[in-house]
A and B are shown apart, each in its own frame.
Chain A
């Protein structure tokens, strides 16, 4: 065993992408095994390594962790990206909860029918600009610090940058009313580990395409379209 965390997922963003971001931000190298066939997935299932029969699954520190939020919390705490005390953790958890909801809308997007995609895109932009971005804009404006919580780089900053970039992929000028977030985006992007992750050749995955959707559907036998909330 190499000692590096090993990620089991499809070769695409989905629920694993936030984990890739956080490990990268912490400067932790990791390996990946990509699910491409139903047989691979069934083998994992039969081997008993998926607690609730689902991926993401991350082998880390002798554990086979599942459940995205559990994995992220573990990594954040282990690499000191979770604040200095219970109250800073609470703030980080709240902020991450918001960006998680926002990215959740985007994650489902490729699995919608063409007609629902248009509606969902408008919904994502509306929620980003009227609910989520204003909240983080205000947090940064109120304390005037570089990072969201405790004047120290944390999981909340990584997650927010990931969310901003994802929404920008849907509408490139979406940050136009948010000067604090624009500055935040520039600052966090220049942190060396983040900068490295944003360069070509990193383990960051591209925007999901038809091939990705087709692989997920095939491996999970998920042939129905998701519906918007």
Chain B
């Protein structure tokens, strides 16, 4: 065993992408196993590796972890990206959960029928610009610090930059009303581990395409 965390998922973003981001942000190298067939997935289940028969699966520190949030919380806790006390944790958790609701809309988008896509895109834009981005714009403006919580780089910052970039892929000018977030995006992108993750050749996955959607439907077919 290499000692590196091992990620099992499809070869695409989905629910594993925030985990890739957080490990990369923490400077942790990891291995990946990509599910390409239903048979591979069925075998994982048969071998008892998936507590609730689902991926993501992350093998880390002798554990076979499932449930995205559990995995992210563990990584954040282990690599000191979870604030210095219970109250900072609470803020990080609130921010991350909010961003996660926005990311859920983006996650589901490729699987919506063609006729619903325009409406869903409008919803993403509406939520991003009226519900989520204003909150973080205000947080950054009020304390004037570089990071969302406790004047220190944390899981919340990683999750926010992931979300900003994901929304920008769909709505390129989405940050136009948010000067604090523009500055935040630049600052966080320049953190060495993040900068490295944003370069070609990193484990970061591209936006989901038709082939990815096909693979998901094939692997998880009932």
Contacts and interface: CB of A to CB of B under 8 A. Distances in A.
B54 to A, nearest CB: 8
Contacts of B66: 94, 97
Contact of B98 (A51, A61, A73, A78): A51
A177 B66 CA distance: 25
Interface in A52-94: 52-53, 61, 63, 65-70, 73-74, 77-78, 86-87, 89-91, 93-94
B93 interface: yes
Nearest to A48: B138
A67 B94 contact: yes
- Interface residues of B, dominant DSSP: helix
B94 A65 contact: yes
B51 A93 contact: no
Interface residues of B, number: 28
A70 B69 CA distance: 11
B70 A97 contact: yes
B93 A97 contact: no
B73 A89 contact: yes
Contacts of A68: 97
Contacts of B96: 70
B132 to A, nearest CB: 7
Contacts of A153: none
Contact of B77 (A51, A63, A86): A86
B74 interface: yes
Given A69-B93, A70-B97, A73-B93, A63 B87 contact: yes
B214 interface: no
A141 B3 CA distance: 30
A86 B131 contact: no
A98 B52 contact: yes
Interface in B49-75: 51-53, 61, 63, 65-70, 73-74
Given A65-B94, A66-B94, A90-B73, 15 more contacts: A63-B87, A63-B90, A70-B90, A74-B86, A74-B89, A77-B89, A86-B77, A89-B77, A90-B63, A91-B63, A94-B65, A94-B66, A94-B67, A132-B52, A135-B51
Interface in B83-101: 86-87, 89-90, 93-94, 96-98, 101
A93 B87 contact: no
Contacts of B65: 90, 94
Interface in A23-55: 51-53
B73 A93 contact: yes
Contacts of B63: 87, 90-91
Nearest to B93: A70
B69 A93 contact: yes
The residue in B52, B89, B98 that gathers the most chain A C-beta atoms within 10 A of its C-beta is B52
B94 A86 contact: no
Interface string B121-156: 000000000011001000000000000000000000
A135 B53 CA distance: 10
B211 interface: no
Interface string A93-133: 11011100100000000000000000000000000000110
A140 B1 CA distance: 29
B95 to A, nearest CB: 9
Given A51-B135, A77-B86, A132-B52, A97 B67 contact: yes
Contacts of B94: 51, 65-67, 70
B90 A74 contact: yes
B78 interface: yes
A126 to B, nearest CB: 11
Given A52-B101, A70-B97, A98-B67, A89 B86 contact: no
A15 to B, nearest CB: 12
B58 to A, nearest CB: 10
Contacts of A98: 51-52, 67
A52 B53 CA distance: 32
Nearest to B72: A93
A131 B52 contact: yes
Contacts of B77: 86, 89
Contacts of A86: 74, 77-78
